[in-house]
Amino acid sequence: MKFIPTIGLEVHCQLNTRSKLFSPAATSFGANANTEVQTVCLGLPGALPVLNKEAVAKAVKAGLALGGVIHERSKFDRKNYFYPDLPKGYQISQFFEPYCTKAKIGIVSGSGKKTVGITRIHMEEDAGKLMHSEDASVHESYVDLNRAGTPLIEIVSEPEIDTPDEAVLYLTELKQILEYIEVSDCNMEEGSLRVDANVSVRPEGSDKLGTRVEIKNLNSFKSVKAAIEYEIARQSELIESGGKVVQETRLYNAARDITLSMRSKEEAHDYRYFPDPDLVPLILTKEQIEALRKNLPELAHEKRARYVSEFGLPEYDAGVLTADKATALYFEEVLKAGAPAKKASNWVMVEMMAIVKEKHKALYELFPADALAELIHLIDSGTISSKIAKEVFAEMVETGKRPKAIVDEKGMGQISDEGKIREIVLSVMGEHSASVADFKAGKERALKHLQGEIMKKTRGKVNPQLANKILAEELAK
């Protein structure tokens, strides 16, 4: 029997505001435990939540960038459950009336272009963190409430993702959009982006979706892919052997590369959602929404299209250069400083990216964008050969000096003076008279040898086109 998988993703994204969603406490990652908490995050009696305007603006930007409908009215509800990292005993979330619906993400998968619907995006506050002793014999657990109350948006997709690879493409695109609009650092290791994957399978030919299993808290694209792959295989084998998939929540164990049951539907929480009586509905005006829309930066897919249409770059280059915003902005600065697009693209994608990877540095930390434009200009104007350019480039990375200064200092400039080149050509011909005789006797290979000797004598600094032309002239005499 063949099984068709269906995947729906729920993504929690931490917004990069300075303070929390309903409290003035700071949000920075890695502070000493329980130092970034105030009465509201601690749920002390009488403390009242006040909505963070910046968090709303960032959430709305995300909804707009994802092509969603922003609702002028939305509402906050209480999601009730008991857990030690949740001092209030409830989490403030938007359940009945989310601020954004009907968003979408375009992906290009193996089977072509497709759009994955986003059912809803809502704002909510994060819980704190529990830390359990790693030594199982030590029965100690600790609570850190620094994260409690941090603003999140939850982005819930339609069950329209067909393969583990499509899930990764969807997440890559989503992460890129959120990074471009600068509403989140999207750091998965620090938990700024967390993924729950819902997976079901159905026999080929059936149009009714199978029972879904939710795999919680995946914190890397690698584990998203592996967990979904494992789950598809597990469910398919289960059905094939006569079993039935039960709706449940599972956890992915990366060390063993399997998913394990966490709780079944029967044990699932009843959250007893109800509107938070401490908060009035959130009302946004059309003008506020439009002002945020107008201020959205150019997004990666828009840049990608423009690099192809305006700069004539290949799709591949456009994709690599826009993969992250910092690279795209650096590249655009190189062009602003006067470099031709394809040459700038090659230097950034090949030479610079290699160093970036090797040294774990950002592009602009190697040297400023206009220094690269200057280097390209030195090549284009014939001042240095592309071979010498590589040496200059290495020196730029090493010392941070400007390319022109390096060329002047080391006398690396190309020899382009015809008289000087003719002198060199004649002296090489004199030193290698046997090769000259060979060439005149019809041995074509002797020409290559003479050309090589001229290069050697000038340590690669002679303009090769001119040198070859003059050599041909002298040999013809």
Q: Which residue's C-beta sits nearest to Mg ion?
A: 10
Nearer to ligand ADP, 209 or 246 (CB): 209
Place of tokens 């502070």: 31
Tell me which H or E stretch contains 311: helix 300-311
Query: In the bound complex, what is the minimum distance in angstroms from residue 197's beta carbon to ligand ADP?
Result: 8
- CA 430, 432, 436, 437 dihedral sign is positive
Contacted by 198, from ligand ADP, Mg ion, none: CB < 5 to 8 Å by type: ligand ADP
CB atoms within 10 A of CB 372: 27
- Upper half-sphere CA count for residue 315 (Cβ side, 13 Å): 1
Nearer to Mg ion, 94 or 146 (CB): 94
In this structure, what are the phi and psi dihedrals at residue 129, rounded to the nearest 5 degrees? -130, 140
Contacted by 463, from ligand ADP, Mg ion, none: CB < 5 to 8 Å by type: none
Contacted by 149, from Mg ion, ligand ADP, none: CB < 5 to 8 Å by type: none
Binding region for Mg ion (CB under 5 A):
10
Nearer to ligand ADP, 184 or 200 (CB): 200
CA dist list (Å): 244 to 8, 260, 450: 20, 16, 79
Identity of residue 365: E
Strands 100-109 vs 69-70: parallel, antiparallel or unpaired:
antiparallel
Query: In the bound complex, what is the minimum distance in angstroms from residue 196's beta carbon to Mg ion?
Result: 5
Nearer to Mg ion, 10 or 185 (CB): 10
Query: In the bound complex, what is the minimum distance in angstroms from residue 198's beta carbon to ligand ADP?
Result: 3
Q: By three-state DSSP, how is residue 202 classified?
A: strand
Nearer to ligand ADP, 38 or 119 (CB): 119
Query: In the bound complex, what is the minimum distance in angstroms from residue 194's beta carbon to Mg ion?
Result: 11
Find, among 16, 56, 29, the residue nearest to 289 by Cα: 56
Nearer to ligand ADP, 7 or 428 (CB): 7
Query: In the bound complex, what is the minimum distance in angstroms from residue 41's beta carbon to ligand ADP?
Result: 24
Query: In the bound complex, what is the minimum distance in angstroms from residue 249's beta carbon to ligand ADP?
Result: 9
Query: In the bound complex, what is the minimum distance in angstroms from residue 274's beta carbon to Mg ion?
Result: 19
* CA Rg value for the chain: 31
Q: Cα(259)–Cα(224) distance, rounded to whole angstroms? A: 11
* Straight-line distance from the first to the last Cα atom of the chain, in angstroms, rounded to the nearest whole number: 81
Nearer to Mg ion, 10 or 54 (CB): 10
Q: Which residue's C-beta sits nearest to ligand ADP?
A: 8
Q: By three-state DSSP, how is residue 217 classified?
A: strand
Question: What DSSP state is assigned to residue 396?
Answer: H
Place of tokens 């040496």: 391
Find, among 78, 112, 113, the residue nearest to 96 by Cα: 78
Query: In the bound complex, what is the minimum distance in angstroms from residue 233's beta carbon to ligand ADP?
Result: 16
Nearer to Mg ion, 159 or 203 (CB): 159
Binding region for ligand ADP (CB under 6 A):
6-10, 156-159, 198-200, 209-210, 212, 214
Contacted by 157, from ligand ADP, Mg ion, none: CB < 5 to 8 Å by type: ligand ADP
Q: Cα(336)–Cα(419) distance, rounded to whole angstroms? A: 37
Contacted by 156, from ligand ADP, Mg ion, none: CB < 5 to 8 Å by type: ligand ADP
